[in-house]
Chains A and B, each alone.
Chain A
Amino acid sequence: MPSRTDLELVEAFRNGDLTGFNELVGRHQERVYWIARRVMGKHDDAADVVQDVFVRMFKALKGFRGDSEFSTWLYRIAMNVSLNAIRAKRVKDFIRYDDTIESRSEELPDAELLRNEYQTVLERAIQRLPPKQKLVFMMRYYDEMPYEEMAKLLKKSVGGLKANYFHALKKVQEYVRKEMG
C-alpha cells in the first residue's frame, strides 16, 4: 500500500483515525528532535521539547488548513516551542554548565577535559545568541535551509539573512575566544 501524504494523514486524524497522528509523529520525529536538540543542546531537554511539540501538534492539528506545507507548519511549532523552552531554562542552564565543568574536572584526562570544556563554552555561546540570530544560524547551518526558503519563512531579504548568519557565527567565535583565552 502506498504511503499516505502528510495531508492525507492530517485528514485521517481529523476524521477520527488516530493512526494518522501516529504516522505523522513517526515521520517527523527525527527532524523535530534535531531542531530541539540544536536549540536546547542537551538530549534530555530536547526529549522534553519533542513531547511538547507533538502534544501541541495534536491540539492544533484540527485547525491545520494547508496554507503552508505541513512540514513547514510543524517546523515553526518545533522552533517556537524550543525557543520558549530554552529561554525558560537559560538561567538554570547557565549555572548547570559551570557545575558540569567543575564536577567532571576530577575524572577526565586533560585533552578530554579541554574538548568538553570547549563544547560547553560553544554551547553557551550558541545559547547566548539573540533569538533572531540563533534562528537563522540553526536554519542555515544545521538544517541547510536555502536562503530563499528562509527569506520566505522569515520575511527577510536573502542579503540580510546572509549578513545575519555571518554575524551569528562571528559572535559565537568571539565568545569562545574570550572564554577559552
Chain B
Amino acid sequence: MRCREVGPELPDFVGGRSDEETNRRVSGHLDECPACTRQAQELRALFVRLDEREAWSPAEAYWTSILPRVHRRLEENAARGLPQWTTRFALPVAAAIVLAAAVIKIAPPTGEDYPANFSVLLEQLPPDELQRVTDQQAVSEILQPVLEEPSATSSDDLEDVKTILGEDGSGPAGTDAEMMTGAEDWSDQDAGQLLPMLEERDTSN
C-alpha cells in the first residue's frame, strides 16, 4: 500500500472503524513508514481532543424544555402575523376583490346601485358572511384543518400551507428534498454541489 492510499484509510484505522482486511494492510504499511505512523499518532491525539469537545451534555431540564420552547416560537411567529380570521379568509377576500373588480370593469354600475367602496365593505363583513359571499368553500375546506392548528395562523404560515398543500390540496409538485428549508441561503458553491437536493427552491418560507 502506498502512502497516498493509506492516508484516506487512516482516520478509520485510528478510530477503530476499519474492517479486518484494511487494518491488516494499513498496519503493514505503518510498520515501514515513519511519516504515516506520525500522521496516525497525530490523528489519535486529535481524536482525544475532539471527544473532549463532546464532554459537556445539557442537563435533563434542557431536554424537557425543548418542546415548550418550540411551541412558544410557533406562537410568536403566529402572533407576528395577522389576526386568525384575516388569514383564514385571506384567500376568499382576495378572490372576492378580484371578482368584484372584474364585474365592475365588465359592467360598470351606475348611480345608486354601485357602492364606491365595495372592496372596503367586503373586508368589513363578518367572517361567516364573507365566507358565504365569496363562495370559496372548496379552498376553505382545504385550509381549515391546518389553520385551526394553534400555531399555523400567521400570514407566513398561510403561505406555507398554500405551498405545502397546493391550491387544490393535493400537495406540491416535487419531492421531499424540495421541502428542505434554508436552501436558498446556502450560496456556497461547494456545499451546493455536495448536497444537490438542498439546492432546490425553499418552499417553506
Residue B70 contacts which of A25, A153, A159 (CB distance < 8 angstroms)? A25
Which residue of A has the minimal Cβ distance to B184?
A: A84
* Interface-facing stretch out of B87-95, B104-112, B172-180: B172-180
Contact yes or no, A144 B180, CB < 8 A: no
Contact yes or no, B204 A80, CB < 8 A: no
- Quote the shortest CB–CB distance from A167 to chain B (angstroms): 9
* Interface-facing stretch out of B2-10, B23-31, B115-123: B2-10
Residue A123 contacts which of B8, B46, B53, B69 (CB distance < 8 angstroms)? B53
CA distance in complex: A29, B180 (Å)? 18
Contact yes or no, A76 B46, CB < 8 A: no
Is B21 in the interface zone, CB < 8 Å from A?
Answer: no
Contacts of B66 in A (CB 8 A): 25, 29, 33, 50-51, 54
Contact A154 B195, CB 8 Å, known A63-B203, A119-B53: yes
Q: State which residues 159-205 of B face A: CB under 8 Å.
A: 160-161, 163-165, 171-172, 175-177, 179-183, 185-186, 188, 190-191, 193-198, 203-204
| Number of B residues with CB within 8 Å of any CB on chain A | 63
Contacts of A56 in B (CB 8 A): 181-182, 204
Which residue of B has the minimal Cβ distance to A18?
A: B149
Contact A65 B176, CB 8 Å, known A43-B58, A80-B198, A131-B188: yes
Contact yes or no, B171 A83, CB < 8 A: no
Contact yes or no, B63 A60, CB < 8 A: no
Contact yes or no, A63 B164, CB < 8 A: yes
Residue A135 contacts which of B42, B181, B191 (CB distance < 8 angstroms)? B191
Is A4 in the interface zone, CB < 8 Å from B?
Answer: no
Contacts of A25 in B (CB 8 A): 66-67, 70
- Quote the shortest CB–CB distance from A126 to chain B (angstroms): 8
CA distance in complex: A136, B67 (Å)? 29
- Quote the shortest CB–CB distance from A9 to chain B (angstroms): 14
Contact yes or no, A60 B46, CB < 8 A: no
Contact yes or no, A119 B183, CB < 8 A: no
Q: Mark A162-181, 1 if CB is under 8 A from B, else 0.
A: 11011001001100100000
**Which of B165, B185, B203 counts the most A-chain CB atoms under 10 A from its CB?**
B185
CA distance in complex: A143, B70 (Å)? 24
Known: A55-B74, A131-B188, A156-B194. 17 other contacts (CB 8 A): A29-B63, A51-B73, A56-B204, A59-B204, A60-B203, A63-B163, A63-B179, A63-B204, A65-B176, A77-B180, A80-B186, A80-B198, A122-B53, A130-B190, A132-B193, A135-B194, A166-B10
